Amino acid sequence: MALNLIMLGPPGAGKGTQAERFARTRGIPKISTGEILREAVQAGTEIGLRAKSVMDRGELVGDEVMIGIVRDRLQRPDALSGFILDGFPRTVAQASALDAMLDGRDPLIVVDIVVPEQELIRRLSTRLICKECGQTAPSGDELSSRCRKCSGELVQRTDDSQGVVRERLRIYHASTEPVVNFYRARPTFRSIDGAQAADQVAADLAAAIAAAGNGNVR
Q: Is the pLDDT of residue 216 over 50?
A: no
In the chain, % helix, strand, coil (3-state, to 5) comes to: 50, 15, 35
Q: Cite the beta strand spans of 87-198 per DSSP E.
A: 108-114, 129-130, 154-155, 189-193
Q: What is the mean pLDDT of the chain?
A: 86
The angle at the Cα of 110, spanning 7 to 149, to the nearest 5 degrees, equals 20
Q: Is 122 a catalytic residue?
A: no
Catalytic residue among 21, 90, 123, 190: 90
Amino acid 177: pLDDT: 87
Q: Is 50 a catalytic residue?
A: no
Q: Is 90 a catalytic residue?
A: yes
| Nearest in space to 88 (alpha carbons), one of 102, 78, 77 | 102
Catalytic residue among 38, 73, 127, 190: 127
Amino acid at site 92: V
143 pLDDT band (50/70/90 cuts)?
low
Burial (Cβ within 10 Å: 0-12, 13-18, ≥19) of residue 33: buried
Domains and CATH numbers, the chain: 3-114+168-213 (3.40.50.300)
Q: Cite the beta strand spans of 115-205 per DSSP E.
A: 129-130, 154-155, 189-193
Taking the CB of residue 77, how many other CB atoms lie within 10 A of it? 6
- The answer to whether 109 and 22 have CB atoms below 8 angstroms apart is no
Q: How confident is the model over 72-80, as a mean pLDDT?
A: 89
Q: What is the DSSP string of 93-105?
A: HHHHHHHHHTTTS
Q: Is 131 a catalytic residue?
A: no
Q: Which helix (H) or strand (E) holds 23?
A: helix 15-26
Catalytic residue among 73, 123, 157, 190: 157
- The model carries a pTM of 0.77
Amino acid 142: pLDDT: 59
Q: How confident is the model over 113-141, as a mean pLDDT?
A: 82
Catalytic residue among 15, 38, 73, 123: 15
Instruction: For 22-35, write each residue's pLDDT tens digit.
Output: 999 999 999 988 78
Q: Is 149 a catalytic residue?
A: no
Scanning 44-125, the segments in alpha helix (DSSP H) are: 46-56, 63-74, 92-101, 117-125
53 vs 192, more confident: 192
| Nearest in space to 152 (alpha carbons), one of 134, 139, 138, 140 | 134
